[in-house]
Amino acid sequence: MVIVGIDLGTTYSAVSYMYEDGKPRILENQDGEKTTPSVVMFQNFGGDDEPLVGTQAKQQAKLMPEDLVQYIKRFMGDPSWKFDSSTGKSYTPEEVSAIILKRLKTGAELALGKEVTHAVITVPAYFDDARRTATRNAGTIAGLEVVRVLNEPTAAALAYGFSSDENGIILVYDLGGGTFDATLMKKTDDNYEVISTDGDRNLGGFDFDNLIINYVYEHLSEQGIETDDLSAEMEAEIREKAEQAKRALSSVDSTLIHLVVDKKPIRVEITKEEFDQLASSLVKRTIEITEDVLDESDVSWSDLDHILMIGGSTRMRIIKETLEEKSGKELKYEINPDEAVSLGAAVQAGIELVRLSKENADGVEVSEEIISSVEKVNIEDVTSQSLGTKAIDSNTDKEYNHILIPRNSKIPASGGSSFVTVGSTSRISVVTTEGDETDIKYVNILGETDVDLGRVVEKGHPITIKLSYDIDQTIYGEVFDEETDKLLKTFEINRDNNMSATQLKVASKNITDLKIN
Ligand code: AMP
């Protein structure tokens, strides 16, 4: 059994492994790189798809933009999203992610010289149930047994803990390619306690690229160029050059973007000052989320002992400058922002290995060094989404979201409430919700389950509904008849937004049959 830690990022992914010496290290991919662009190019070879993953796929983005899939993480858990390749096949977000994971798996096998069978995969802390399940399913389709889906900030803190002995209150500020997470944690020796977390799944480096793209478009319009008429190739070229310009501005004060549009050479200059101005509202949004996370736990900027900067986008100077100003501290990048999450996932992989060896699972070999480095590690995580049920307010007769487990509750968590039937009935329907809002319109419906009460009861009959959230982020519910004290039903959430077991089998077969480069 070989378990790797995988950071499946919006723009880049990385794989790490806990070596026998008890230290996690990053694994290089097939191209000798420590990170792999999460980009898939669907090449059509005689009517068959041969997906190309990573840097080579990214480099060809300009040439064949319609065959390219990027930022797939943003669509995880969305059942309506599909990519239609030129061979006429269509792929779900889980399948596209599985193609990336398979490439990562093969690369890790090459680096380690042995078959990789299991994985810990990280997700943003605020990923909801459908997105977590979709990520787990992507691993399964790729032929990996996913032993744990781990929150990215927790992984980053684990990596930090493995490189430093310092304790204290840690803010993990994670701005990646497509997502933002702010997490407050407390580290006491081997104990990692997540206090609160929040984020925005649609805020990342990609959005900063868009600011520069718009800036370039404005410049082109000023030159009399009709930007609506640009070819897909030119749009892809502008996107690539905008990202390069953004990266350049992390070290220089001004940069040039060169383009040739309609045979006319165009030069667009952008300075750090201009970029900072464009970026100010996105940066402000990350600060607002961070301050909400701090406020929720009555922690102020000055109470923070460490700020961990995670994700490639924290290299933007405006981010560093803003956080330094807010915290009054000089920020050090103590761990590599691109590698930390995958290194932390490898630590978790070590923990899982030790657990499985204690359970006498087949084929587990674990060294004394790994045991001694992880055996005392204890992680206390929290739920990132409130869970509840649909109920009717007896005063207004209106439906509302009744929260049973508030967000940021320690996992495992459970919570129940007492309700009464609105009329005389022999069945009730329990709707499980996810989200903070009281208005049912603004929360996710996770599932609906029908409960047979076993007899006709009068209006006002008392029923208890209890929800539980376990360490593996599985949600299940229980319904009790309060009068008889009887458990009427136990249910697991049937995830309508995720693939069924049969769909998973078909997808695994489809992806196994693909030649992935
Ligand atoms: P991640 O998903 O954490 O790998 O983050 C990748 C994001 O970081 C992408 O949007 C990159 O454009 C961005 N990024 C990487 N390096 C830099 C840099 N030097 N300056 C600004 N952004 C960067």
Confidence tier at 300 by pLDDT (50, 70, 90) = very high
> From the CA of 382, how far away is ligand 1's center (Å)?
27
The response to whether residue 205 sits with its C-beta less than 6 Å from ligand 1 reads: yes
The mean pLDDT value for 176-205 works out to 92
8 A C-beta contact, residue 309 and residue 341: no
> From the CA of 176, how far away is ligand 1's center (Å)?
6
Predicted confidence at residue 412, as pLDDT, reads 93
How does strand 83-84 pair with strand 90-91?
antiparallel
Token pair listed for 256? 């040039």
The response to whether residue 180 sits with its C-beta less than 6 Å from ligand 1 reads: no
Question: What end-to-end distance do the CA atoms of the chain give, in Å?
Answer: 25
> From the CA of 511, how far away is ligand 1's center (Å)?
29
pLDDT digits (tens, 9 = 90+) for 6-50: 999 999 999 999 999 999 999 999 999 999 999 999 999 999 999
Name which residue sits closest to atom 18 of ligand 1, judged by CA. Answer: 247
Rounded to an integer, what distance in angstroms lies between the CA atom of residue 68 and that of residue 43?
Answer: 9
The response to whether residue 62 sits with its C-beta less than 6 Å from ligand 1 reads: no
∠ CA(363), CA(365), CA(371), 5° rounding?
140
Predicted confidence at residue 494, as pLDDT, reads 67
Name which residue sits closest to atom 14 of ligand 1, judged by CA. Answer: 312
Name which residue sits closest to atom 7 of ligand 1, judged by CA. Answer: 177
Predicted confidence at residue 306, as pLDDT, reads 93
The response to whether residue 317 sits with its C-beta less than 6 Å from ligand 1 reads: no
Rounded to an integer, what distance in angstroms lies between the CA atom of residue 494 and that of residue 81?
Answer: 20
Pick the atom of ligand 1 nearest to 205's CA: 10
Top mutation candidate among 7, 8, 11 for ligand 1, by most atoms within 8 Å of CB: 11
> From the CA of 205, how far away is ligand 1's center (Å)?
6
Top mutation candidate among 247, 316, 318 for ligand 1, by most atoms within 8 Å of CB: 247
pLDDT digits (tens, 9 = 90+) for 43-79: 999 999 999 999 999 988 778 889 999 999 999 999 8
Confidence tier at 334 by pLDDT (50, 70, 90) = confident
Residue with tokens 């900027």: 301
Name which residue sits closest to atom 19 of ligand 1, judged by CA. Answer: 247
Catalytic annotation, residues:
7, 73, 152, 174
8 A C-beta contact, residue 38 and residue 98: no
pLDDT at 128 > cutoff 70? yes
Across 332-410, the runs of DSSP E, i.e. the strands, are 378-380, 387-392, 399-405
The response to whether residue 9 sits with its C-beta less than 6 Å from ligand 1 reads: yes
pLDDT at 298 > cutoff 70? yes
Torsion sign (Cα): 130, 177, 102, 347: negative
> From the CA of 88, how far away is ligand 1's center (Å)?
33
Contacts 24+ apart (CB under 8 A), 239-248: 239/61, 239/209, 239/213, 240/61, 240/62, 241/216, 242/209, 242/210, 242/212, 242/213, 242/216, 243/205, 243/209, 243/212, 245/212, 245/270, 246/205, 246/208, 246/209, 246/212, 246/275, 246/316, 247/315
Instruction: Classify residue 115 as exposed, middle or buried by CB count within 10 Å of its CB (0-12, 13-18, 19+).
Output: exposed
The response to whether residue 129 sits with its C-beta less than 6 Å from ligand 1 reads: no
Predicted confidence at residue 156, as pLDDT, reads 94
pLDDT at 332 > cutoff 80? no
φ, ψ (nearest 5 deg) of residue 79:
-70, -15
Predicted confidence at residue 164, as pLDDT, reads 87
The response to whether residue 315 sits with its C-beta less than 6 Å from ligand 1 reads: yes
The response to whether residue 124 sits with its C-beta less than 6 Å from ligand 1 reads: no
Top mutation candidate among 36, 70, 246, 313 for ligand 1, by most atoms within 8 Å of CB: 313
The response to whether residue 402 sits with its C-beta less than 6 Å from ligand 1 reads: no
Rounded to an integer, what distance in angstroms lies between the CA atom of residue 403 and that of residue 432?
Answer: 10
pLDDT digits (tens, 9 = 90+) for 461-516: 999 999 999 876 778 999 999 999 999 999 988 666 788 889 999 999 999 989 99
8 A C-beta contact, residue 217 and residue 211: no
**Which are the contacts of 83, defined by CB distance < 8 A and separation ≥ 6?**
42, 69, 90, 91, 96
The response to whether residue 107 sits with its C-beta less than 6 Å from ligand 1 reads: no
pLDDT at 279 > cutoff 90? yes
Computed over every residue of the chain, the mean pLDDT equals 93
> From the CA of 310, how far away is ligand 1's center (Å)?
10
The response to whether residue 10 sits with its C-beta less than 6 Å from ligand 1 reads: yes
> From the CA of 212, how far away is ligand 1's center (Å)?
14
Rounded to an integer, what distance in angstroms lies between the CA atom of residue 289 and that of residue 35?
Answer: 28
pLDDT digits (tens, 9 = 90+) for 389-427: 999 998 999 999 999 999 999 999 999 999 999 999 999
The response to whether residue 69 sits with its C-beta less than 6 Å from ligand 1 reads: no
**Which are the contacts of 171, defined by CB distance < 8 A and separation ≥ 6?**
182, 183, 184, 185, 290, 293, 294, 304, 306, 307, 308
Q: What is the pTM of this model?
A: 0.90
